[in-house]
């Protein structure tokens, strides 16, 4: 009897992760796979090509040509041909990257917009991208460096909303980057290494190439896994806080002229962590703005340390104490 060749462990790990992500989708649905040609997205696409037909799921790859490097159009077409060899329908989208927020942020914004548009055009229920555990660890470290609180330390969510009716799935957040590269090698896939991923001008690259290796060397192995676990735990905490906010806010918030008001006494009765989250939630939901910690604490003092101080100007709105209530009005 002929013995079947064993499945490479790296290929098996990536397929298992993708199988779990696809399990949440309805049979017969359509998905988009973001495919840059790098090892992460290529291993993801190969796994989707293997797993999706089992569920009758139709998969299309989308390669976004940012036009930021010479020969990018030829590269995008080569990546599309690889998708075809995997049995996936390929689509190449060419975009114009602006300068809002710097080149990294601008490229990311137009890329996700292109993926969302492609998903909408294909009637897809989900878009899959190839972020790995290493990407998650880097994101947590970058959030820590910014000092922007637990929200940024939560890293990237495995499941998020990309656009109405379209989920953004990151199946590989528990998979190491070395594993995706090994999976590509085992399946003899031609990997493209983006030179931007080793360019020290970019903060994320310095974290990847310099900071994480030093942490591993000085503190021992497992740093990336520990950072990823921290992100997962903080997301769990955030979900619990969100439920508490939803329950609390119904009782203490009222609509006011040109804005919204919150009971100062009710806010003061809550723990500081919940009080601050309610303040940030009100400003974000009503005025579409994010508050820094200093701004949040300034608003909280109108509740906990009230001595007649005047209104506080915030992004998109103004907060002031009026009797027993905290009012937020558009600025």
Same domain, 154 and 86: yes
Same domain, 162 and 217: yes
Per-residue pLDDT band for 108 (boundaries 50, 70, 90) equals confident
More confident: 75 or 148: 75
- Is 284 inside any structural domain? yes
C-beta of residue 173 within 8 angstroms of C-beta of residue 130: no
Domain closes at, from 176, 206, 223 = 223
pLDDT tops 60 at residue 179: yes
- Provide the domain limits for residue 180: 9-223
57-86 per-position pLDDT tens digit: 999 999 998 777 778 888 999 999 999 999
- Is 204 inside any structural domain? yes
Whole-angstrom Cα distance, residue 41 to residue 13?
14
Q: Mean per-residue pLDDT for 167-188?
A: 97
C-beta of residue 31 within 8 angstroms of C-beta of residue 56: no
pLDDT reported for residue 99: 61
Rg (CA), the chain: 23
Give the closest residue to 114 by CA, choosing from 96, 89, 90: 96
Same domain, 208 and 281: no
- Is 283 inside any structural domain? yes
Domain of 306, CATH number, reads 3.30.465.60
DSSP lists the bridge partners of residue 127 as: 32, 168
10-20 per-position pLDDT tens digit: 999 999 999 99
Same domain, 215 and 297: no
Domain closes at, from 223, 249, 284 = 223
- Is 4 inside any structural domain? no
pLDDT reported for residue 109: 86
Same domain, 149 and 203: yes
pLDDT tops 70 at residue 2: no
pLDDT reported for residue 48: 98
Distances (CA, A) of 32 to 57, 72, 90, 118, 234: 10, 21, 10, 8, 28
Q: Mean per-residue pLDDT for 162-181?
A: 97
Same domain, 282 and 170: no
pLDDT reported for residue 198: 85
DSSP lists the bridge partners of residue 109 as: none
Per-residue pLDDT band for 149 (boundaries 50, 70, 90) equals low
39-49 per-position pLDDT tens digit: 999 999 999 99
C-beta of residue 256 within 8 angstroms of C-beta of residue 327: yes
Whole-angstrom Cα distance, residue 202 to residue 222?
24
In the chain, the number of structural domains is 2
Same domain, 152 and 62: yes
Same domain, 183 and 266: no
Same domain, 219 and 166: yes
pLDDT reported for residue 322: 92
Domain closes at, from 176, 204, 223 = 223
- Is 238 inside any structural domain? no
Q: Cα torsion at 254, 257, 258, 264 (round to 10°)?
A: -40
C-beta contacts of 298-306 below 8 A and 24+ residues apart: 299/326, 300/267, 300/272, 300/275, 300/276, 302/264, 302/326, 303/264, 303/267, 303/268, 303/275, 304/268, 304/275, 306/264
Same domain, 204 and 264: no
- Is 98 inside any structural domain? yes
Residue 58: both structure tokens together:
């139709």
| Mean of pLDDT over the chain | 90
Q: How long is the chain?
A: 331
What is this structure's pTM?
0.82
pLDDT tops 90 at residue 235: no
- Is 68 inside any structural domain? yes
Q: What percent of the chain has pLDDT over 90?
A: 64
Q: Which residues fall within 8 angstroms of residue 24, CB to CB, at 6 or more apart? A: 159
Domain of 34, CATH number, reads 3.40.50.620
Give the closest residue to 229 by CA, choosing from 317, 301, 155: 155
Per-residue pLDDT band for 3 (boundaries 50, 70, 90) equals low
Per-residue pLDDT band for 139 (boundaries 50, 70, 90) equals very high
Same domain, 215 and 264: no
Same domain, 286 and 214: no
Whole-angstrom Cα distance, residue 39 to residue 254?
51
Sign for the pseudo-dihedral over CA of 263, 265, 271, 273: positive
C-beta of residue 70 within 8 angstroms of C-beta of residue 40: no
pLDDT reported for residue 310: 92
- Is 248 inside any structural domain? no
* Sequence-ordered alpha helix ranges (H) in the chain: 9-22, 39-51, 72-86, 103-122, 133-146, 150-153, 177-186, 203-206, 212-219, 223-252, 264-269, 272-287, 293-304
pLDDT tops 70 at residue 207: yes
pLDDT tops 90 at residue 254: no
């Amino acid at each position: 009897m002929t013995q079947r060749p064993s499945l490479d462990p790296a290929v098996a790990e990536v397929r298992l992760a993708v199988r779990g992500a696809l399990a949440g989708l309805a049979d017969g649905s359509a998905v988009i796979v973001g495919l840059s040609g790098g090892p992460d997205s290529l291993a993801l696409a190969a796994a989707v090509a293997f797993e999706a037909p089992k569920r009758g799921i139709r998969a299309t790859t989308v390669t976004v040509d940012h036009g930021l490097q010479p020969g990018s159009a030829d590269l995008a077409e080569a990546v599309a041909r690889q998708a075809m060899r995997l049995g996936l329908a390929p689509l190449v989208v060419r975009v114009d990257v602006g300068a809002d927020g710097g080149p990294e942020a601008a490229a990311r914004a137009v890329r996700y917009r292109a993926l969302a548009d492609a998903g909408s055009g294909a009637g897809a229920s989900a878009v899959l991208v190839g972020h790995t555990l290493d990407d998650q660890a880097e994101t947590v470290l970058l959030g820590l460096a910014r000092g922007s609180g637990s929200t940024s330390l939560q890293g990237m969510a495995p499941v998020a909303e990309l656009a109405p009716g379209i989920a953004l799935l990151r199946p590989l957040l528990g998979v190491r980057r070395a594993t995706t590269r090994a999976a590509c090698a085992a399946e003899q896939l031609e990997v493209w290494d983006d030179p931007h991923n080793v360019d020290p001008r970019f903060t994320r690259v310095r974290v990847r190439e310099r900071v994480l290796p030093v942490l591993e060397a000085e503190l021992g192995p497992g740093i990336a896994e520990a950072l990823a676990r921290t992100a997962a735990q903080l997301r769990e905490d955030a979900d619990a806080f969100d439920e508490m906010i939803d329950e609390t806010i119904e009782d203490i918030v009222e609509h006011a002229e040109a804005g919204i008001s919150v009971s100062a006494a009710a806010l003061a009765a809550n723990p500081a962590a919940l009080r601050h989250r309610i303040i940030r939630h009100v400003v974000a939901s009503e005025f579409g703005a994010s508050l820094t910690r200093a701004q949040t604490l300034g608003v909280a003092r109108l509740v906990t340390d009230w001595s007649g101080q005047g209104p506080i100007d915030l992004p998109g709105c103004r907060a002031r104490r009026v009797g027993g209530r905290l009012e937020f009005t558009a600025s």
